[in-house]
C-alpha cells in the first residue's frame, strides 16, 4: 500500500484546469462544460501561482517531481 500523499496526487493527474483572461471570454455564449473558468477580477494584482498550504516535506520531493515534472513550483515553509 502506498503513501497517502501518492494516492492524493494520483487524483490530480486526471484533473485539468484552464485559465483564460476574462476579457477573452464571451459572456453571451455558453461556456463548454469541460472547462473551468476563473473570472474573478484581480484588479492590479500581478501574476500569481497557486500553492498548497503546508503538508509538503523534503522527503516528498522525489514523488512530487516524478508526478509534476521538474518544471513545477512547490512551496516549502516551517519545519522543512
Q: Which residues contact 12 (CB under 8 A, 6 or more apart)?
A: 67
Residue 76 lies in a domain: no
Under the banding of pLDDT at 50, 70 and 90, the label for residue 2 is very low
DSSP 19: -
Give the structural domain span for 33: 4-68
- CA 74 from centroid of its chain's CA atoms: 10
In a domain, 75, yes or no: no
Q: In the structure grid, which three cell numbers stand for residue 52, read together? A: 498548497
Looking at the predicted structure, is the pLDDT value of residue 31 above 70? Answer: no
Q: Is residue 28 part of a domain?
A: yes
Q: How far apart are CA 76 and CA 52, in angstroms?
A: 9
Residue 47 is assigned to a structural domain of this protein: yes
H helix count then E strand count, the chain: 2, 0
The proportion of the chain whose per-residue pLDDT surpasses 90, expressed as a percent, equals 0
Instruction: Enter the pTM of the model.
Output: 0.34
Determine, yes or no, domain membership for 10.
yes
Query: What is the number of structural domains in the chain?
Result: 1
Amino acid at each position: 500500500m502506498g503513501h497517502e500523499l501518492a494516492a492524493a496526487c494520483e487524483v490530480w493527474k486526471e484533473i485539468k484546469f484552464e485559465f483564460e483572461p476574462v476579457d477573452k471570454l464571451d459572456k453571451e455564449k455558453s461556456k463548454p462544460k469541460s472547462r473551468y473558468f476563473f473570472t474573478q477580477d484581480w484588479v492590479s494584482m500581478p501574476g500569481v501561482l497557486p500553492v498548497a498550504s503546508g503538508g509538503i516535506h523534503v522527503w516528498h520531493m522525489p514523488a512530487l517531481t516524478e508526478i509534476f515534472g521538474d518544471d513545477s513550483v512547490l512551496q516549502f515553509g516551517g519545519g522543512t
